[in-house]
Chain A
Amino acid sequence: MSRGALLVLADGRFPAGGHAHSGGAEAAVKAGRVTGAAGLGEFCRGRLHTAGLVSAAVAAAAVLGADPGELDLAVDARTPSPALRVASRRLGRQLMRAARATWPSAELDALAREFPKGAHQPVVLGLVARSAGLGAEDAAYCAAYESVSGPASATVRLLSLDPFDATAVLARLAPELDLVADRAVEAGRRVLAEGVDELPCAAAPLLEIGAEAHAAWAVRLFAS
């Protein structure tokens, strides 16, 4: 693995569309569920252990060589909200575009052909990590970190939250990020041996319900 490549992929400025998504933070802020740094911390913790864990395990399994089509179906089954499925495929397509210019590979070309409108983002992320010479643990960390860094930077914009407080929230989650990445890689290995049912399927009802409410708004700042 190349630690340098990992930093490039994990950089929040990697041009793969994430900046336009709040990871559910906009809906949570509007509903009054997140009003400051403490609420953001609990929001991010919940997202990390649910959507973040699932994404991290899917990405790890993809790096390890699990079938991308099966992983994609598994993400569908773990994403009840159609608004979130659309957002995930859109982000997958955008990541694919950025990655094919940065780490071109025949494997990415094949996935782009199979899913012209986008495979789910964590599936793409796993194959991008492979193309960049990264391992399952790297991909799991990227997915887990994205699951909290997106809401944190969105909340800075939404609440004019002190950016130092938002970054401190992320720093305090670091031990749990390690835990989630470890669990994700273990699950990814089990997928190879026993199939995609081994993927975690941790649910977050308010993320799913909030995403549907958000998708119906006429006026919003973020795409999801």
Chain B
Amino acid sequence: MHLDHTHDGPAAVSADAHRPDGTHRALRIGLGGPVGSGKTATVAALCRALRDELSLAVVTNDIYTREDAEFLLRAAVLPPERITAVETGACPHTAIRDDISANLEAVEDLEDEVGPLDLILVESGGDNLTATFSKGLVDAQIFVIDVAGGDDIPRKGGPGVTTADLLVVNKTDLAPYVGSDLGRMAADAKAQRAELPVVFQSLRTEAGVGDVARWVRERLAAWTA
């Protein structure tokens, strides 16, 4: 047995930037964060913002099978064949970090069946502050928290808050009602994340998901360069 054995056939390495036929695969961006922070709403808004300029698809990782996928289907943000639900056995963090095999199959099948794709958004089911995506599954990840979850979350840190490529602080319109101090959140995030970007957004305002969509476009430009 040789672990460095060279072999033919389709690539088995999960993070490989090329598909078996040699074409560049889609950029994969993960969205994680606590329950109720607005991940699915952000995914839906991103789909609406980007679907006319990009070929995109979504993979959801639900706790209860297909809930988030069905929300996206009902909202009709994408045609149904572009939305796939991965079943996680009650543990989305396992499916996005420790055992990514089902997610890799889902992204591959989407590229095979509806491709070519520019972008695949992989959404995690709501989990805790330690849940991050494997680098074998996504090329970049967005961590979504919200002001109503407590303005001390950026200070508490955790792998999602400190290492995600983009931190989104969602539902800023609620800050006055829940007593969250946006300035403090921004300062704490800066302390935890140094130069990594942070976006404050409210999907109820006109700007909506615009900043996040811009960040995704930049990522995509770098990926295809």
Touch between A and B in complex, CB under 8 Å?
Answer: yes
Complex interface: chain A residues within 8 A of B86 (CB):
20
> Which residues from A are CB-within-8-Å of B9?
109-110, 112-113
Residue on A with the closest CB to B4?
A: A104
Once the chains bind, are A16 and B99 in contact (CB under 8 Å)?
Answer: yes
Do A90 and B105 form a contact, CB below 8 Å, given A97-B12, A222-B89? yes
Contact of B89 among A15, A95, A113, A221 (CB under 8 A): A221
**Contact indicator per residue, chain A 76-99, by CB within 8 Å of chain B (1) or not (0):** 000000000000001001110110
CB within 8 Å for A221 and B64 given contacts A16-B101, A104-B12, A157-B90 = yes
Cβ of A69 within 8 Å of any chain B Cβ, yes or no, is: no
Write the B41-61 contact mask toward A (1 if CB under 8 angstroms, else 0). Answer: 000000000000000000000
- List chain B positions with a Cβ less than 8 A from chain A: 1, 3, 5, 7-10, 12-14, 63-67, 86-91, 94-95, 98-102, 104-105
A133 interface residue per 8 A CB criterion: yes
With contacts A19-B91, A97-B104 known, is A103 near B3, CB below 8 A? yes
Determine the chain A residues whose CB is within 8 A of the CB of B13 once the complex forms: 101
Q: CB within 8 A of B14: which of A101, A103, A223?
A: A101
Q: Which of B7, B63, B90, B105 has a CB less than 8 Å from the CB of A109?
A: B7
Check if A94 sits within 8 Å of B3, measured CB to CB. no
The yes or no answer to A132 lying at the interface (CB within 8 A) is yes
- Residues 128-146 of A, flagged 1 when their CB comes within 8 A of B and 0 if not, give 0001110000000000000
Give Cα distance in the complex from A217 to B67, angstroms: 12
Those of A116-136 within 8 Å (CB) of chain B: 116, 131-133
23 interchain pairs, CB-CB under 8 A = A17-B102, A19-B89, A19-B95, A19-B99, A20-B91, A21-B89, A94-B105, A95-B101, A97-B14, A97-B101, A100-B12, A101-B12, A101-B14, A105-B7, A108-B7, A112-B10, A113-B10, A132-B1, A133-B1, A157-B90, A219-B67, A221-B65, A222-B89
A108 to B104, CA, bound (A): 18
- Residues in B with CB closer than 8 Å to A193 are none
Q: A22 within 8 Å of B by Cβ?
A: yes
- Contact at A219–B99, with CB atoms within 8 Å? no
B7→A220 contact, CB < 8 A: no
Q: Is A154 an interface residue (CB 8 A)?
A: yes
Known: A19-B94, A94-B105. A131 touches B1 (CB 8 A): yes
Give the nearest-CB partner of B112 in chain A: A116
User: CB-CB contacts of A205-224 with B at 8 A, as 1s and 0s?
Assistant: 00000000000011111110
Instruction: Give the A-B pair count, Cβ closer than 8 A.
Output: 99
Given contacts A97-B12, A101-B14, A223-B87, contact A17 B99 (CB under 8 A): yes
Complex interface: chain B residues within 8 A of A109 (CB):
7-10
The answer to whether B10 and A94 have CB atoms under 8 Å apart is: no
A106 contacts chain B at the CB level, 8 A cutoff? yes
- Whether A20 lies near B102 (C-beta < 8 A) is yes
- Nearest Cβ in chain A — how far from B89, in angstroms? 4
Complex Cα gap A100–B98 (Å): 17
Contacts A106-B5, A109-B10, A221-B90 known; 18 new A-B pairs at CB < 8 A:
A13-B99, A17-B99, A19-B94, A19-B95, A20-B87, A20-B102, A94-B105, A100-B12, A103-B3, A105-B1, A105-B7, A109-B7, A110-B9, A112-B10, A219-B67, A220-B64, A222-B90, A223-B87
Q: How far is the CB of A93 from chain B (nearest CB, A)?
A: 6
In chain A, what residue has the closest Cβ to B1? A133
> Would B10 and A20 count as touching, CB distance under 8 A?
no
Name the one of A93, A154, A221 contacting B63, with C-beta atoms under 8 angstroms.
Answer: A221
Query: Cα distance A93–B64 when bound, in Å?
Result: 23
Whether B3 pairs with A17 at a CB distance below 8 angstroms is no
Q: In the assembled complex, which residues on chain B have CB atoms less than 8 Å from the CB atom of A16?
A: 99, 101
Residues of B within 8 A of A93 (CB): 105
Docked-complex contact A94 and B8, CB < 8 angstroms: no
* Complex Cα gap A94–B95 (Å): 12
Most B CB contacts (10 A, CB to CB) among A97, A109, A223 go to A97
